[in-house]
Every structure is written in C-alpha cells, then in structure tokens.
Chain A
Amino acid sequence: MTEENLLEIRDLKVHFEIKSGILKRTAGVVKAVDGVDLDIRRGEILGLVGESGCGKTTVGRAILRLVEATSGSVKFKGRDIFKLSSTEMKPLRREMQLVFQDPYSSLDPRSKVGDIVGEGLRVHGVTDRKERYRRVLEALEMVGLQEPHMRRFPHEFSGGQRQRIGIARALVVKPSFIVCDEPVSALDVSIQSQVLNLLKDLQQELDLTLLFIAHDMSVVEHLCNRVAVMYLGKIVEVAEREELFGNPQHPYTQALMSAIPIADPKVKRERIILPGDPPSPLRPPPGCRFHTRCPEAIDICSQEIPQQIDLGRQHLCACHLRQPEPDAIQQPA
C-alpha cells in the first residue's frame, strides 16, 4: 500500500441478480462492475469516463458502500472498508462524500437548505446549534452562496445553485475524498463552467481527492489529472491526462474521443464510427468486451480477457494488441 494512495480498489465486482418467478430464481446476472482495479492518489482528481451502462456510477457507489459489492476490496487509507461493520463504517463516512448528478432530486424538497447541509454535522457529533450554523454558513460561502439562503427551500433555487448546495453538503463534514457523480451533466452549459471552476478551486484549497465520474471527455480533460476509461464493467485504459488525450491507445478510447463533437469548426478529424450498439450487461461478450465493435479485433480478442498492461509512463491499457513501447509516440489513429 503506497502512502500516496488514498484508495486502492482491487478486483471490484458488483453483480445484480435478476430474479423472476414465484420462487424468485435468478434469471440473469447484470455484471455492472466486473473486476475493476484502480488506485486513487491523494490529492488528485481522477476522472472515470465511459458511456451509459459501463458501470462508472456503480463503481462510485460501491466505493462508498451505498451499493453492496459482490466481491473485491476497497482500501481507504489502508483499511479494507468492505470488512467493516456499519458502526465502524460510520466515522469513515465523514471522510468519503458524494455529489450527485441531478440537482432536482438530490435535495430534500421539504427541508430548508440550512438543515439539508447541516444534517451531516448532526450525525457526526456537532450537537451545538451555533457551531452547526457556523459551519453550514462556512460551507455555503465556500460555494458562493450566502447566509439568507440557509432559510430557503430547494425549489427556490436554480439548477446551478442547487448543485452548489449539494457540494456544500458534501464539504461541510470536511471529507478527504469526494465522488462526483456526473455533477455538471444536468446543468446548462453556461452554468457548467461555474461549477467546474468551483470544484477545481475547492480541490486546490482544501486538498481534496476527487473521483470525477463523467461521460463528457472535454470536461474530464479540463478538470482531471488522471483519467480512467470504462467499458461494460471493466477499465480499459488509465493514464495521466496529457498522455491519455495525446496518445490514446485502447481502440475504444480512440473511438470515444473521435466521436466527441469539438466546439471548433476548424478542427477536422476523421471519425471512427463504431458499428452497432453496446452489448447488454446481461450478456457481455466473451473475451474482450469490446471485440464485437472493435475495428482492430483479432481472434484472441473473443477468447481471452485482456489484462491491464503498463505501457510505460504509468499508462495502463487492457488490450491484446497493445504492448509497452517506452519510447514510441504513436499518432492518434
């Protein structure tokens, strides 16, 4: 366990059983997360990207034990949190928080903002009302809101403001790690930048570690130090930001990046259009999950699951076709 790793995730699997029939027999298994290894370093912003159904949200929730993992381990500051009882888990929860995607359902519509943000303090032993008030105010001001807002109700705020309230709620307990689950996807474009700037500032000021889950790679590129790409329950590529965006190795990453429309009409690129639809997580393809749509697939791809290989410069890739070449700089295909 390296000192600098805040979290070490090993072989994380989250399988959901689909039960049907009177006797509730298992009719199928959705392998939402199927063997994820990931390190999250102290003080970094790690981006986790992928399309819908790839399991990134489930990873985030499993780390926080909001969804029970089927197997694997998550070590937080050296302790395997899956082995803890709920009583032992409680103080740790203070350190690991979550920011949600939908600003409209992440705040209790019937409570005042001050109470919503202060709930965490109440649970973790701040019983003095004045102290809570002080800390809630502190958190709200950190996200750019003000004292009168404490007495308002969520429906009186805009989407961007609600999202900031959600961030304040996560911050008020002074966590060391926050999972941001698509925090700007539901916001208007001109508001996204407000929240992104805010997250960046807060991370620097408070020395937070963030797991930033998103599907928009341009946002990820802007914000994150390192990026992991997921496809159908598995991580296919992990690398430092410049390395990943400058030298994407996995065919899926390459296709993903080429598919994103760039807000600059002068940039002309050759698009890699992936055929077909992503397979269902109920029936993942054998071998490499991506082989059914991969333009470079060969025989072995449908037989063996590729392992994560370090290609050098801490660039991990799970593909049979990529080998470590320390000094070669490949042009994007």
Chain B
Amino acid sequence: MIKHQHNFQPSTNSQPLLEINDLRTYFFTRDGTVKAVDGVSLTVERGQIHGLVGESGCGKSMTAMSILRLVDKPGRIVSGEILFKGEDLLKRTRNEMTAIRGKQISVIFQEPKSSLNPVLRVGTQLLEVLKIHEGKQRTIKRKDAVEQLRSVGIPDPDRRVENYPHEMSGGMAQRVMIAMGMACAPDLLIADEPTTALDVTIQAQVLDLIRKLRDEHEMGVILITHDMGIVAEMADIVTVMYAGTAVEEAPTVELFETPLHPYTQGLIASIPVMGQVKERLEVIPGNVPNLIDMPPGCRFAPRCKARIEHGLTRCEVEEPHMIEAKPNHFVRCWLYEGES
C-alpha cells in the first residue's frame, strides 16, 4: 500500500465533497433537443458511496461525464453547478480540469478492455498516469506501478506489469483500471457500471475492492449502475434517476424499505430477489420515453399506475419538484407534494 500525501481539506466544516445543483446537460441534434440530464442535484460526502441507479437512457452516465466535463458536441452543459470541494467545476478552465481529472476525481468505466490502450503494456499506462500528475514532484519508477497493481489485489504483479490488456481477463483488466484510477489517491471516484461486463463471481471481487479502497482512503464514490442488488449492497445513499431527472433520493435501507416514488416501487417490485420467490413479478407497463421533445408534466406519468389509482390530474400538466417527504428522503412526485 502506498501512502500518499492525502489532499484532504481540514474537515472542520461539513462541506460535502461534491455537490451538484440542478445540473442540465442537453444534446442539440438535428431531430430535436435531447434533454439527457434535466435537473439533477445530489451530494457526495467523503467516505460515502452514493449509488446512482436507473435504466438505459436515464442520464446517469451523462451526469458522470458532466461532472468531469467530458461532454462533446452536440451536447453541452446548459446550466447548474458542480461544486467540488466548494469550487464550481463548471467555471474551471480546461487546464484546471485536466489537472483535476485523474488526480482528484477518477473514473472507471464499464468496459475495461476498451478503456485501456491495447498497444501499450499495462505498466506503461499506469506509469503514464503517475507521471502526468506527480511527475513534477518525484521520479516515477517501475516499482510504483508494481505497487499499484498489488494494492488492487492482482496476484504476481511484478509479472503482470508487463502484460498487454488483451492478455488479461476482464476482471483483472478492471482491477488495472481501478489501479489507474486510484494511482493518485483521488478524493472522488466515479465508477460507471464497473461490473456490468463481468461475471458474477468476479463482480463480487471488484465490488469488494472498491469498498476496501473507500474504507482505506476515505474516498467519496459515485457508483453508477442499473443493478438494484449492487446498490443495495454497496451504496450508503441512493439516487434513482428516470428519463434525465432524479426522482428519489434516500439512504439505502430507507429506500428499499419504503420506496416512495411509483417508479422506484415498480422497479423494486419487478426485480426477482433471490430467496424471495413471487408468483408474479410486478410490471411497469410501457417503455422508457424518447428524450427528445418530452411532453410536459412528470416524465413517468404515462407509465404511472399510482396516478390513475389516486386520480391525479396534475401529473400530466406540471412537473413536480424534489421535496423532502421524510427526513433525508427526497422524492419528486405529486403524491407527496399536496395540491397547492
């Protein structure tokens, strides 16, 4: 284990590590404006795993890309604030962002094999990260790379350092990604579907690793996934996203015990849980909406049984706001906002 100089703030204030306020990222295409992220707010504290869960097209990956300001044309971050350690990342210059990425905020992606350069050895890529961010302060040596690999649990790291990505299995390649992400002891780790491409048994290893690293470094983690099981196991706090907005946010146990938003309820009810066999799974009828030119009102309204059961009319007209329905439990739904 390498002990790095931690760049912690003296934690006298309870300033969150990351605070996103009303982030909006839109894609301006020929067919219309795709509102990929449309009003997302969330906070990540140090040492906290914040799970960001939702289905395809809900905007969770794009939120991550927006934090890192890796959004390309025709997409653009339209409005909002991303406060990282108090400073708005959206106001940073490109050079500043480049310095932050990889050092203070790291990312690991879904497909390790396509995130690694296939023509370079693994060790070279690891050293490159180190050189970019710490090269000015000290000489980077091969053994630094070996140590990194060891710290993520890769057996026989001295030999593995010379491997090319294609010589490694998926699980091992993902560990290498994690090593690269952790190389500079970041304050915030964004893991975008880190285990989706991996087998279940390997997934267990990788998740375990992430948890261990979080414990050791007191790192904040944004864990993006579509798997409710992973969220239930790993996350301290969960934000559920649907069609570009956050619809519910709560501590994990609270969310699973009493899900408030009809989408969350439907989601949880529709997943088969091992050990709890149901005769029939709940179904959320319909499909994820087209993100271009969405009709007004709540995005989930066309698929919401609760709306019909409670006879609500507001849902199709006006979009609800995120309110604190219970302590620390936020939800965006007219069911809880009261008719006013």
Q: Does A245 make an interface contact (CB < 8 A)?
A: yes
Q: Does A281 make an interface contact (CB < 8 A)?
A: no
In contact, B287 and A262 (Cβ under 8 angstroms): no
Q: Does A259 make an interface contact (CB < 8 A)?
A: yes
Residues of B within 8 A of A241 (CB): 277
In contact, B226 and A189 (Cβ under 8 angstroms): yes
Residues of A within 8 A of B232 (CB): 261-265
In contact, A52 and B199 (Cβ under 8 angstroms): yes
Count A-side interface residues using an 8 Å CB cutoff.
Answer: 43
Q: How far is the CA of A82 from the CA of B233 in the complex (A)?
A: 46
Residues of A within 8 A of B271 (CB): 189, 192-193, 218, 263
Q: How far is the CA of A257 from the CA of B229 in the complex (A)?
A: 13
Q: Does B148 make an interface contact (CB < 8 A)?
A: no
Of A51, A190, A197, A260, the contact of B274 (CB 8 Å cutoff): A260
Q: Does A23 make an interface contact (CB < 8 A)?
A: no
In contact, A265 and B253 (Cβ under 8 angstroms): yes
In contact, A190 and B272 (Cβ under 8 angstroms): no
| Interface members, chain B 205-233 (any A CB < 8 Å) | 205, 207-208, 226-233
> Looking at the complex, which of A3-11, A56-64, A98-106, A266-274 is the stretch in contact with chain B?
A266-274
Tell me the smallest distance from the CB of A52 to a CB of chain B, in Å.
Answer: 6
Residues of A within 8 A of B253 (CB): 265-266
In contact, A222 and B275 (Cβ under 8 angstroms): no
Q: How far is the CA of A217 from the CA of B273 in the complex (A)?
A: 9
Q: How far is the CA of A161 from the CA of B272 in the complex (A)?
A: 20
In contact, B282 and A193 (Cβ under 8 angstroms): yes
Q: How far is the CA of A277 from the CA of B274 in the complex (A)?
A: 24
In contact, B199 and A278 (Cβ under 8 angstroms): yes
**Interface hub of A190, A191, A197, A267 (most chain B Cβ within 10 A):** A190
Q: Binding site of A, secondary structure by majority: helix, strand, loop or mixed?
A: helix
In contact, B284 and A221 (Cβ under 8 angstroms): no
Q: How far is the CA of A193 from the CA of B280 in the complex (A)?
A: 9
- Nearest B-chain residue to A158, judged by Cβ: B287
Residues of A within 8 A of B340 (CB): none
Residues of B within 8 A of A276 (CB): 155
Residues of A within 8 A of B172 (CB): 277
Given contacts A215-B200, A273-B208, contact A267 B228 (CB under 8 A): no
Contact mask for chain B residues 156-169; partner A; CB cutoff 8 A; 1 contact, 0 none: 00000000000001
Q: How far is the CA of A261 from the CA of B211 in the complex (A)?
A: 14
Q: How far is the CA of A223 from the CA of B280 in the complex (A)?
A: 9
Q: Does B335 make an interface contact (CB < 8 A)?
A: no
Tell me the smallest distance from the CB of A258 to a CB of chain B, in Å.
Answer: 8
In contact, A273 and B56 (Cβ under 8 angstroms): no
Q: How far is the CA of A190 from the CA of B54 in the complex (A)?
A: 10
- Nearest B-chain residue to A201, judged by Cβ: B280
Of B155, B202, B275, B278, the contact of A245 (CB 8 Å cutoff): B275
Residues of B within 8 A of A128 (CB): none
Contact mask for chain A residues 151-170; partner B; CB cutoff 8 A; 1 contact, 0 none: 00000001011000000000
Of B56, B275, B280, the contact of A262 (CB 8 Å cutoff): B275
In contact, B233 and A261 (Cβ under 8 angstroms): yes
Residues of A within 8 A of B208 (CB): 271, 273
In contact, B277 and A222 (Cβ under 8 angstroms): yes
Q: Does A188 make an interface contact (CB < 8 A)?
A: yes
Q: How far is the CA of A222 from the CA of B284 in the complex (A)?
A: 17
In contact, A160 and B55 (Cβ under 8 angstroms): no
Q: How far is the CA of A217 from the CA of B199 in the complex (A)?
A: 12
Of A189, A215, A255, A266, the contact of B267 (CB 8 Å cutoff): A189
Given contacts A260-B274, A277-B169, contact A191 B201 (CB under 8 A): no
Q: List 19 A-B contacts (CB under 8 A).
A: A52-B199, A160-B287, A189-B55, A190-B267, A190-B288, A218-B273, A223-B272, A241-B277, A256-B200, A259-B203, A259-B204, A263-B256, A263-B268, A264-B232, A265-B232, A265-B233, A265-B256, A267-B275, A271-B204
Which 8 residue pairs of A and B lie closest in terms of their CB atoms, listed nearest first? A261-B229, A193-B270, A222-B272, A259-B204, A51-B199, A193-B281, A263-B228, A188-B55
* Given A193-B270, A273-B201, 13 other A-B residues pairs in contact with their CB atoms under 8 A: A51-B201, A188-B55, A189-B55, A189-B228, A218-B271, A258-B204, A259-B204, A260-B274, A262-B233, A265-B232, A273-B204, A274-B204, A277-B172
Chain B interface residues toward A at CB < 8 A? 55-56, 155, 169, 171-172, 199-205, 207-208, 226-234, 252-253, 256-257, 266-268, 270-278, 280-285, 287-288
